[in-house]
Structures are given as structure tokens and as C-alpha cells.
Amino acid sequence: MGRLTINNKGITNELAEARGEHPMKNKVHWARVLTLIILFGCTWYILQFTSTVSPVSIKKSLSSFPQVIGNYKLSNSFQSSAGVLELLGVNDYIQYNYVSDAGDNINLYVGYYRAVGVEGSYHSPKNCIPGGGWGIDRIKKVGLNQGIEGGTKSTVSEMLIRSGDEYQVVLYWFQNRGRVIASEYWEKIYLVLDALFKGRRDGSFVRIISYAPNAEITETEARVRVFAEKVMPLLENYLPGRDNENRR
């Protein structure tokens, strides 16, 4: 006749579950709590450490940016109010309107920050553009046949925005510390890494906008991309690159 084996641990667990207690679940719960505490602690330390970086000055003022780019010539510029500039915390910027020989218009905005998140911060077009009747139809990543720091390729973000039957193509990227970054999320990751290992938080935001007349979206996209490929290397003369000693 076989023996009857009694597992005290099993009986204890069954009794606990019968009373509505879950020993294993409690252990998992406290493990998660401990993990969250550690993550919050690490995040706090990183934020404290990376906020003590030295601001990096721009190479030269953007006000001297070329007024002729390919077959586009500067038609006028836009100056933001003192209140808007204070809100943005931007250290140098331009907002130029160019017009081509064929009459096509392109708006170029470049904003430079000596220490992103310390003296000022970017405002993503995803949050700023919607409004005034304009909405985002689509967002995608596109490749350009131009890079920086000797590169020949780069990836930027492209938005198609619409108001009724009117369309505009928006191209934007972050040109920061020797990189062209299309994603806001990757920009934040690189910002923390460069603050930790390089002691730098300088960066710039570049945006190009053009109307798509008669809903000629494909033609406008091609036009804006070619313009961006000309702007990107020109900005290297103004924006601090991967290796930079221009600190204050």
C-alpha cells in the first residue's frame, strides 16, 4: 500500500489562497515596486548630473545665413516677439522666406539652443502646427542625399498638413552635435548620452515649409527635399559639430 505524502508548503499556499492571499503575487508586486524606485532614482541622478553642463555658443550668428540658396532668394524674414523668444528660450534663430525664380515659396526656420532643457527647449511641430484650421494628414521618415560631418545620407521627418483643400509640406530635423536626427525620441536619448559623456546639451531645430499649390504634393515634396539638401551642409558653418571647443 503506497504512502500518503503531505506537502506542508502546498497546504499552506492553498490555505493562504483560500483566505484571498497570494504569496507569489505579493513577491512580484514588491519586486516591481523596488524596480520602479531604482529607475526613479537613476532618472533623478541623470537629470541632476546632466543639467550641470557648460553651454556651447554657436559658431557664428545665423543672421549671416545665405540669402541665396540655389535658385531661391530671400524675400523677407520674420521676427518673433520678445515674449515668444522668452518662452522658447532660443539663443539664436532665423525665420526666412525664400522665393524661387519660378515663384515657389519656401519658409526656413532654424533655432539654436546653447543648452537644451537648461536654458530653453524645442517645441515639436507635432504639437505646434495643428491649429488655426490646419491638421496633420501624415508623418513619415524620408531619406536625403546629403549628410553632415562628411556623410552623404541622412533621414529627416516629413509631415503633410491640410486645411480644407490646401496642403503644405513640412520637413524637419534636429542637427545636434554632429548628428542629423529625425525622431524627437532619439533626440532625447542622444541628449542624455551626450550630456553624460561629452558634457554637452547644445542643439538646433530645423524646419522647412512650403505650400503645395493645386494639391501638387509629390512635386512639392521633391522641391522641399532638394532645398533641405542644400541647407544642411550650409548649417555646418554655423552649428557646433561633433568635435567642438566653443564653450563658455
DSSP reduced 3-state for 4? coil
Q: Are residues 32 and 115 in the same domain?
A: no
Q: Indicate whether 247 belongs to any domain.
A: no
Residue of 116 and 13 predicted with greater confidence: 116
Torsion of CA 55, 52, 156, 173, to 10 degrees: -50
> Please, which pLDDT band fits residue 208 given cuts at 50, 70 and 90?
very high
> Same structural domain for residues 76 and 123?
yes
- Main-chain dihedrals φ then ψ at residue 233, nearest 5 degrees: -70, -30
Instruction: Verify that 17 and 123 share a domain, yes or no.
Output: no
Is the same domain home to 46 and 142? no
Query: Environment class of residue 41 by beta-carbon count within 10 Å: exposed (0-12), middle (13-18) or buried (19+)?
Result: exposed
107 shares its domain with 213 = yes
pLDDT tier at 169, thresholds 50, 70, 90:
very high
> What Å distances lie between residue 29 and 9, 14, 26, 33, 66, CA to CA?
21, 19, 5, 6, 60
Same domain for 39 and 80: no
Residues 75 and 197 in one domain: yes
Which has more pLDDT, 114 or 83? 114
pLDDT tens-digit series, residues 127-150: 777 667 788 889 999 999 999 998
Q: How far apart are the first and last CA of the chain?
A: 88
- CA 100 distance to own-chain centroid: 29
* Same domain, yes or no: 18 and 113: no
Is the residue at 55 inside a domain? no
176 and 223 together in one domain: yes
Residue 69: per-residue pLDDT:
95
The total of structural domains in the chain comes to 2
In a domain, 36, yes or no: yes
pLDDT of amino acid 15: 44
The confidence score (pLDDT) of residue 16 equals 47
Rounded Cα gap, residues 158 and 37, in angstroms: 38
226 and 205 inside one domain: yes
The stretch 120-124 carries a mean pLDDT of 72
More confident of the two residues 199 and 81:
199
Query: Residue 152: pLDDT above 80?
Result: yes
Compute the radius of gyration of the chain from its Cα atoms. Answer: 26
For residue 44, the enclosing domain spans 8-50
Summarised one tens digit per residue, pLDDT across range 6-44 is 445 444 454 445 455 555 555 556 777 777 677 655 555
Query: Cell 553624460, residue?
Result: 196
Inside any domain, residue 57: no
Q: Judge if 67 and 36 occupy the same domain.
A: no
